[in-house]
Structure 1
Amino acid sequence: MRIVIAGGHGQIALRLERLLAGRGDEVAGIIRRPEQAGDLLAAGAEPVVCDLESASVEDVARHLEQADAAVFAAGAGPGSGADRKDSVDRRAAALFADAAEAAGVRRFLVVSSMGADRVPPEGTDPVFAAYLRAKGAADADVRARGGLDWTILRPGRLTDDPGTGHVQLADATGRADVTRDDVAATLAALLAEPGTAGRTLELVNGVTPVADAVRAVAGS
């Protein structure tokens, strides 16, 4: 399987690239800065330099040719303002989805955020509120597309603790922590399970092995 990951230098993306390469998949990661290429090569992924904030649909679609699946794991990141939350977390997600459709790539995973469907409560930091709104709009855009077999994954609060290999994966889980390792492992399992298409799922650490949790969702 060939998989193209937008936001290929992100913390979850690099973990996912290592997992996919380790199981024999062909992986490409879209990055904005050429100096990030070495980290992708070390993870077993092909670096593809393309700025999703300025590229055209046609530019991105060329990088998706011959792919079996696409993963949107990009984000404006800490320290960015509200404008970049919109340009990356919403507009770049829509661009990547447009490109996947143009390239004929149906399987499409999105790394979103818990709380993206809700109006941010009063008093929420304005930049974080912009992030949640951008994620929610991007998710709604993807869910409205008939040309994608999409799955949206909404992790809880991310930690850098070692992965447990055990999660809770469901339509709603309640707020809790989840390791980046376990998010990456869940994404890898979701890519191999087409029965999860059309689902928006929340993810936190739990007691069920990742593979079993994904199979359970696919069968529900």
Structure 2
Amino acid sequence: MRIVIAGGHVQIALLLERELRAAGHTAVGLIRKPEQVPDVTATGAEAVVLDLESADLDAVAQVLEGADAAVFAAGAGPNSGVLRKDTVDRGASVLLADAAERAGVRRFLQISGMGVDTPPTQFGGGDWPAYFSAKAAAEDDLRGRDLDWVILRPGGLTDGPGVGRVTLTDKVSDLGSVPRADVAAVIVALLTSGVSHRTLELVSGDTPVDQAVRDLWTR
């Protein structure tokens, strides 16, 4: 499979690119800055400098031509301001989905965030309301499209090594955490599965990643 990843330099994307390469797939990381190229190519992925905040639809669709799937992993990041929460977390996702439709790429996985529909009270200040609003709008946009979409909402992200065991379901009972490495492993398993039209929440748990994805068929 050839998978195009928006936000190709974020931590989850770099891990995902390595996972895809190890599994025999081709990853293409879309990045904003030329200086990010070496980090992306070091994972075995192709790097394409294309800023989704300024690129037009034709340019993005051209990169997606011939791809089997698109992954939206981009985010404006901390202290980026309210405006960029909208232009990146919502606007760039909408643009990538538009381009996927134009290029005929049906498989689309969007990385969102747990609590987007019901933001936790501890995240009530600063840029957090804009973040949750932008992510919720991006989710709503994707659900309305004729794509084989999956929305993945990880819990709190940690940098520890992946353990390969997760809880992956429509709604987890508590806001937990999950290593970024396990998020990447789950994305690979979802991309190569038939799971679609699901909004899934993800935290660390007791079920091996591949089994957790297989179990989605029985629910």
TM range (shorter): over 0.9
Q: Is the 8 A contact 1:120 1:129 kept in 2?
A: no
CA shift at 1:118, angstroms? 2.4
1:71-101 deviation line (CA, Å, top 9, x unaligned)? 0000001221111111100000000000000
Judging changes above 3 Å, is the alpha-carbon distance between structure 1 residues 91 and 124 closer, same or farther for their aligned structure 2 residues? Answer: same
Q: Is the 8 A contact 2:21 2:43 kept in 1?
A: yes
The runs of at least 4 consecutive aligned structure 1 residues that moved more than 3 Å come to 119-123
Report what 1:97 is aligned to: 97
Alignment of structure 1 residues 18-57 onto 2, 5 Å: 18-57=18-57
CA shift at 1:170, angstroms? 0.2
Report what 2:131 is aligned to: 131
Q: Mark the runs of 5 or more structure 1 residues left unpaired by the alignment.
A: none
Aligned residues: 218
Letter in 1 for 2:126: P
CA shift at 1:128, angstroms? 1.0
TM-score normalised by structure 1 residue count: 0.96
Alignment of structure 1 residues 183-194 onto 2, 5 Å: 183-194=183-194
**3-state SS, counterpart of residue 28 of structure 2:** strand
1:128-187 deviation line (CA, Å, top 9, x unaligned)? 1110110000000000112x1000000000000111100000001121011100000000
Report what 2:8 is aligned to: 8
Q: Is the 8 A contact 1:193 1:218 kept in 2?
A: no
1:6-25 deviation line (CA, Å, top 9, x unaligned)? 00000000000000011110
Q: Is the 8 A contact 1:120 1:132 kept in 2?
A: no
Report what 1:73 is aligned to: 73
Question: In 1, Cα distance between the equivalents of 2:123 and 2:47?
Answer: 40
Judging changes above 3 Å, is the alpha-carbon distance between structure 1 residues 15 and 49 closer, same or farther for their aligned structure 2 residues? Answer: same
Q: More deviation in 104-113 or 75-84?
A: 75-84
**Does residue 109 of structure 2 align to residue 117 of structure 1?**
no
Report what 1:213 is aligned to: 212
CA RMSD in angstroms comes to: 1.2
1:53-86 deviation line (CA, Å, top 9, x unaligned)? 0111111000000000000000001221111111
Judging changes above 3 Å, is the alpha-carbon distance between structure 1 residues 193 and 58 closer, same or farther for their aligned structure 2 residues? Answer: same
**3-state SS, counterpart of residue 43 of structure 1:** coil
**Does residue 181 of structure 2 align to residue 181 of structure 1?**
yes
Q: Is the 8 A contact 2:170 2:200 kept in 1?
A: yes
Question: In 2, Cα distance between the equivalents of 1:187 and 1:65?
Answer: 21
CA shift at 1:126, angstroms? 3.1
**3-state SS, counterpart of residue 126 of structure 1:** coil
Question: In 2, Cα distance between the equivalents of 1:20 and 1:219?
Answer: 26
Question: In 2, Cα distance between the equivalents of 1:149 and 1:175?
Answer: 27
Q: Percent identity?
A: 58
CA shift at 1:122, angstroms? 8.8
**Does residue 113 of structure 2 align to residue 83 of structure 1?**
no
TM-score normalised by structure 2 residue count: 0.97
Question: In 1, Cα distance between the equivalents of 2:122 and 2:216?
Answer: 34
Q: Is the 8 A contact 1:169 1:204 kept in 2?
A: yes
Report what 1:150 is aligned to: 149
Judging changes above 3 Å, is the alpha-carbon distance between structure 1 residues 101 and 206 closer, same or farther for their aligned structure 2 residues? Answer: same
Q: More deviation in 49-58 or 114-123?
A: 114-123
Q: Is the 8 A contact 2:7 2:13 kept in 1?
A: yes
Judging changes above 3 Å, is the alpha-carbon distance between structure 1 residues 202 and 122 closer, same or farther for their aligned structure 2 residues? Answer: closer
**3-state SS, counterpart of residue 42 of structure 2:** helix
**3-state SS, counterpart of residue 127 of structure 2:** helix
